Amino acid sequence: MTSRDETLEELGWREWFSDQLVGDEARDTLPVRVMSVHRGQIAVAGVGPMRSISPYIAGAAPSDDHPTVGDWLLIDRATFAAVRVLQRLNLFKRRSPADPRKEQMIAANVDTLFVVASCNQDFSVARIERYLVLAREVGVTPVVVLTKIDLTDTPEKFVAAVRAIEPGLRVEAINGRDSGSAAPLAAWCGKGQTVALLGSSGVGKSTLVNTLRGSDSIATQAIRPGDDTGRHTTTAREMHRLDRGGWLLDTPGMRELQLSDATAGISELFDDFVEAAEECRFSNCAHGGEPDCAVQAAIADGRLTLVRFNRWQKLTGEERDHAEELKRRRKS
Q: Which residues bind ligand GTP (CB under 6 A)?
A: 147-148, 150-151, 175-177, 201-207, 220-223, 230-234, 252-253
Residue 203 near which of ligand GTP, Mg ion, Zn ion, none (CB within 5-8 Å, type-dependent): ligand GTP
Cβ proximity to ligand GTP: between 95 and 148 the closer is 148
Q: Give me Rg for the CA atoms of the chain.
A: 22
Between 285 and 299, CB nearer to Zn ion:
285
Where do contacts with Zn ion occur on this chain (CB under 5 A)?
280, 285, 287, 293, 295
* Between 31 and 252, CB nearer to ligand GTP: 252
Q: Which ranges of 52-204 would DSSP assign to H, the alpha helix?
A: 125-138, 155-163, 179-182
Residue 46 near which of ligand GTP, Mg ion, Zn ion, none (CB within 5-8 Å, type-dependent): none
For residue 314, the minimal CB distance to ligand GTP (Å) is 24
Least gap, CB of 202 to ligand GTP (angstroms): 5
| N-term to C-term CA, the chain | 57
Cβ distance to ligand GTP smaller for residue 8 or 145: 145
* Least Å from the CB of residue 63 to Zn ion: 37
CA–CA separation, 230 and 190 (whole Å): 29
Considering beta carbons, is residue 236 or 286 the nearer one to Zn ion?
286
Q: Are 9 and 192 in contact (CB under 8 A)?
A: yes
Q: Where are the strands (E) in 59-101, listed by range?
A: 72-76, 82-85, 91-95
Q: Which option in ligand GTP, Mg ion, Zn ion, none does residue 76 bind, with CB closer than 5 to 8 A by kind?
A: none
CB 211 within 8 A of CB 176: yes
Burial (CB count within 10 angstroms: exposed 0-12, middle 13-18, buried 19+), residue 297: middle
- The whole-angstrom separation of Cα 101 and Cα 92 is 17
